[in-house]
Structures are given as structure tokens and as C-alpha cells.
Amino acid sequence: MILNKVNLKELYPTLINDVYLESYCPDNFDEFSTGKVRKCVLVLPGGGYGFLSERESEPVALRFAANDIACFVLKYSLSDKIKYPHPMVEVFAALSYIRKNAKIYNVDANKISVCGFSAGGHLAASSSAYHLTQEYADYLNISLDEMKINGCILAYPVISAEYGHLETFKNVAKGDPKLLELYSIDKHITKDFPKTFIWHTTFDTVVDLKNSLLLADGLCKNKVFFELIFM
């Protein structure tokens, strides 16, 4: 396995904070996998933008790796260190880094998905909604192709400021009405949103099920392929 940890700020100096990207990528062996390239998942743990959930970090990455999928975990900016447009551009920096180093990590650069849990799901959905926005590519001095998202996996995601987790929006938008609108992802779904898999528990007492329903409705209206599972 290729285990590595990089500080993205050292490679993308327009980032405000130190941002660490950890790799959990299956290696190739002469006996059976010479030259193999794999699907890749960028994991975004939850925690209300106040902390990063450990149970949604390494255990998830190891599960993907066990299924022969390259995986990275992004330790994005939190609470008082968040300033627009972070941590969304940190996701785009991570995607750019993975694509630029795809050969090192045995990654198929055309099959990179984001996977987010709760507030990490909000970050994954935000990045998916805006992944073709030139402003953010210019901010990082990268191309739109480098930050493209090919697929989105969402677990009990925070989506709407109206029904979302209060602490999540408090930390990411800080009461700014413009940011609350920007980060209400149900209002910004277009045909360019990547194909998406969503799962949510029916009686979630932290993140209202309406978040996933609003997202699914928007994806349906824009004819974006998606699957939605309730448990």
C-alpha cells in the first residue's frame, strides 16, 4: 500500500491554511497487477466543520483500499480557520494533486469521486456543485480539468440551510446571508453535477432526512443520474 501525507499549502500557496492529504492506495505487484490503474475516492470526514470524525476517516479509506480502490483522506480547514472560499478550494487542490500524481498512486485520472459524511457530505456536495467554476480554478492557478469530479458519494449529507445541521452552517457561513445562499446546495444543482449515490437513515436525529430528499429532487429535475437509499 502507498501511504503518504502531503501538505497541500506547500504545493498550492494560495491556500490560507496547512491542509493535509493522506493516501491509502493499493500498490502494484509484478505477480498480478503490473501497470494497473484504479478508481479513486477522496474521503471528506464529517464533524460539523468543527472537528474531523476519525471513524469517517481511516476506517473508510481502508475499506475502499481493501476493495482495490485508491483512496485519499483530506484534513480540510475547520471552524475559525474557515474563510471563503475555503475549504471548498482545498478539495479542488486535492483533486488537482491526485491527478498530477496519478501515475505514482496508480490512479485512473478520469475516475475520481468525492465521498463525504454529514458536514463532509456538505463539502462533497458543494464541491460537486461548483467543480466547473472558473473562479476557483483561477484561485488555485489550475485548470478546470484538474478539479473535475467524476462521481459523488454522500452519507447523511447536510445540504440545505433551512433543514441542515445548525453547527455546520454556523461554522462554514458564519451568518453571512450570501454564503448561506451559496452553500444551500439544493439551490445550485445543474446538469453538470456528477453522478451521485446518497444514503441516509430514516430517523436521523442530527441531519434531517429532508436534506437528501431536496438533493434528490434537484438531481432528478436536472436529469443527473443518482441513486438514493434509505435505511
User: pLDDT band at 166, cuts 50/70/90?
Assistant: confident
Region of 26 please: left (phi>0), alpha (psi -120 to 50) or beta: beta
DSSP 202: T
DSSP 106: T
Query: Tens of pLDDT along 173-211?
Result: 888 999 999 999 999 999 999 999 999 999 888 999 999
- Please give the order of strands across the beta sheet that includes 151-155: 2-7, 20-25, 70-75, 38-44, 107-117, 151-155, 196-200, 226-230
Question: For the residues 127-137, what does the mean pLDDT come to?
Answer: 97
Query: Tens of pLDDT along 7-60?
Result: 999 999 999 999 999 999 999 988 878 889 999 999 999 999 999 999 999 999
Number of alpha carbons in the 13 Å side-chain half-sphere of residue 33: 11
CB 89 within 8 A of CB 19: no
Q: For all residues of the chain together, what is the average pLDDT?
A: 95
Measured CA distances, 42 to 25, 134, 138 (Å): 11, 21, 22
**Measured between alpha carbons, how far is 132 from 59 in angstroms, rounded to an integer?**
30
